[in-house]
Amino acid sequence: MSLEPEEFIDAGDRVVVPLQFGGEARFTGLEVKFAVVHVATIRDRKLARLDIYMSRAEALQAAGLQE
């Protein structure tokens, strides 16, 4: 399994991170890869919450940003 961040977008107390999630399927050996977007909420310099979205636009909206 791998997670490859594409960029880090500052949204104040949140960070929006589009990334590629992938790996090799256990039983078939086929490579699997798809895009997801994490929105990390930081409080007191620690991760307080991690939300996962399937689209960049949805994640940016949740973080109070626009595309």
CATH assignment at residue 51 = 3.10.450.50
Please tell me the predicted confidence (pLDDT) of residue 37: 97
Around Cβ 55, how many Cβ atoms within 10 Å?
A: 13
User: pTM to 2 decimals?
Assistant: 0.84
Q: Tokens standing for 20? A: 């590629």
Domain boundaries, position 18: 2-62
67 assigned to some structural domain: no
As for how many domains the chain has, the answer is 1
53 touches 67 (CB < 8 A): no
17 assigned to some structural domain: yes
Please tell me the predicted confidence (pLDDT) of residue 52: 97
Reported as a single tens digit per residue, the pLDDT across 11-53 is 999 999 999 999 998 899 999 999 999 999 999 999 999 999 9
